[in-house]
């Protein structure tokens, strides 16, 4: 399974969702934001090195971390040295080795997002209730559809009014998992840990687990339409 986590607008909590969802799915998370990496860094080869042809993608995966991760470099020089079109084969190599991969897409709707969606069997769309974020989510939904990355679930971060999730589900055509503002989630993020490990009884942890189960069901149905 290769799952892309996308959203269009930056600052909606996409990377937090990708990291926590990877933990719940027992997946490798790939930080595919080549210019503004936001997931925990680690020593050794990273995605910049992989896409520059200096490292093997499987060997660049770190397993001795709270969530197995293929991290991304932070330097502008490193980003400029990459060949982004290698992303698809790199992600596919990691999936062949580990079985499940969650790709944290960059913000926006550029070619780098398209490459991640091209590699994905399905995607999770992340937004907040703010009007600009929802508008970008609609555009990201259209791009995912164009690239055959089926929409598995929508995450509504900083969820407030109950009706917002229902309206979003109708507009974008997929079930919505609403995650309210959460001190437990913020604390886990500050520690570089998944919330299911730091605060397993929290509402945020329960919503992440529900999201993971929804993704499993959707991807199983898509790959096994007869049964």
Give residue 41's pLDDT: 81
Give residue 14's pLDDT: 93
CATH of the domain at 77: 3.40.50.300
Give residue 35's pLDDT: 85
Give residue 46's pLDDT: 95
Dihedral, CA of residue 185, residue 190, residue 194 and residue 195, to nearest 10:
-30
The structural domain count of the chain equals 1
pLDDT digit string, tens, across residues 72-103? 998 888 889 999 999 999 999 999 999 999 99
* Residue 225 resides in a domain: no
Q: Contact 56/26 with Cβ under 8 angstroms?
A: no
DSSP string, the chain: -EEEEE-SSTTSSHHHHHHHHHHHHT-EEEE--SSS--SPP-SS--HHHHHTTSS-TTTT-B-SSSS-EE-----HHHHHT--GGGHHHHHHHHHHHHS-EEEEPPSSSSHHHHHHHHH-SEEEEEE-SSHHHHHHHHHHHHHHHHTT-EEEEEEEET--SHHHHHHHHHHHTS-EEEE---HHHHHHHHHT--HHHH-TTSHHHHHHHHHHHHHHHHHHHHH-TT-
* Residue 227 resides in a domain: no
Give residue 220's pLDDT: 65
pLDDT along the chain (227 residues), means of 10: 90 93 97 88 90 96 94 90 94 97 88 87 93 90 90 88 78 91 91 94 95 89 48
Give residue 227's pLDDT: 41
* Residue 130 resides in a domain: yes
Structural domain for 18, as ranges: 2-220
Q: What is the pTM of this model?
A: 0.92
């Amino acid at each position: 399974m290769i799952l892309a986590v996308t959203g269009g607008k930056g600052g909606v909590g996409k990377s937090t969702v990708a990291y926590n969802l990877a933990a719940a799915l027992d997946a490798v998370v790939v930080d595919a934001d080549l210019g503004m990496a936001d997931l925990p860094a680690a020593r050794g080869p990273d995605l910049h090195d992989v896409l520059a042809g200096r490292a093997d993608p499987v060997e660049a995966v770190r397993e001795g971390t709270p969530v197995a991760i293929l991290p991304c470099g932070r330097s502008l020089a490193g980003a400029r040295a990459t060949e982004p079109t290698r992303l698809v084969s790199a992600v596919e190599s990691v999936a062949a080795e580990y079985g499940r991969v969650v790709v944290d897409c960059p913000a926006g709707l550029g070619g780098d997002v398209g490459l991640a969606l091209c590699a994905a069997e399905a995607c999770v769309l992340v937004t907040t209730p703010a009007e600009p974020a929802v508008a970008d989510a609609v555009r990201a939904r259209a791009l995912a559809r164009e690239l055959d990355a089926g929409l598995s679930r929508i995450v509504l971060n900083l969820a407030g009014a109950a009706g917002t999730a229902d309206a979003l589900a109708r507009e974008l055509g997929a079930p919505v998992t609403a995650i309210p503002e959460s001190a437990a989630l913020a604390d886990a993020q500050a520690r570089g840990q998944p919330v299911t490990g730091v605060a397993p009884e929290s509402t945020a942890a329960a919503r992440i687990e529900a999201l993971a189960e929804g993704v499993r069901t959707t991807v199983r149905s898509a790959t096994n339409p007869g049964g």
